[in-house]
Amino acid sequence: MRYAIPVNGGVTSPHFGHCEYFALIDTDENEKKIIRKELIPSPGHQPGLLPEWLAEQGVAFVIAAGMGSRAQSLFEQHRIGVIVGAVESDPEKAVLSYLNDQLATEGNICDH
């Protein structure tokens, strides 16, 4: 399973659409471990671009602190699950916490 986490300055970005990079993290769901991590530059922030682009990258889930409702709907249309409100600043720890049903969330910080 492949997860995408927005990253700025090496930590999880507070706003999904305005990140520098995406951490693409491949996992073994049965073993609950990370098997590969790749940091790739974001293609930029344009309405509707990221859901399609991340779908092309094979992403199944996005973990973010905040994301607008329209973006969430677009991800759903591309069959990508969305987890918002994540408070973990380390992308790998966020994925591992999610795999172990321990990811702390505090609600979507995005208000649009």
What's the distance, CA 89 to chain centroid? 12
3-state helix, strand, coil in the chain (%, to 5): 25, 30, 40
The answer, yes or no, to whether residue 105 has pLDDT greater than 80, is yes
108 pLDDT more than 70: no
> What pLDDT does 109 receive?
57
- Phi and psi angles of residue 13, each rounded to the nearest 5 degrees, phi first: -75, 140
**Selection from 95, 108, 58, 63 nearest residue 78 by Cα:** 58
pLDDT tens, position by position, 76-88: 999 999 999 998 9
- Cβ(68)–Cβ(48) under 8 Å? no
Q: Does residue 111 surpass a pLDDT of 60?
A: no
Mean per-residue pLDDT over the chain, rounded:
90
Does domain 2-99 correspond to CATH entry 3.40.640.10? Answer: no
Mean of the pLDDT values across residues 56-71?
A: 91
Identify the CA nearest to 84 among candidates 103, 66, 102.
66
Instruction: Report which of residues 26 and 71 the model is more confident about.
Output: 26
The pLDDT of residue 4: 97
28: amino acid identity, one letter? D
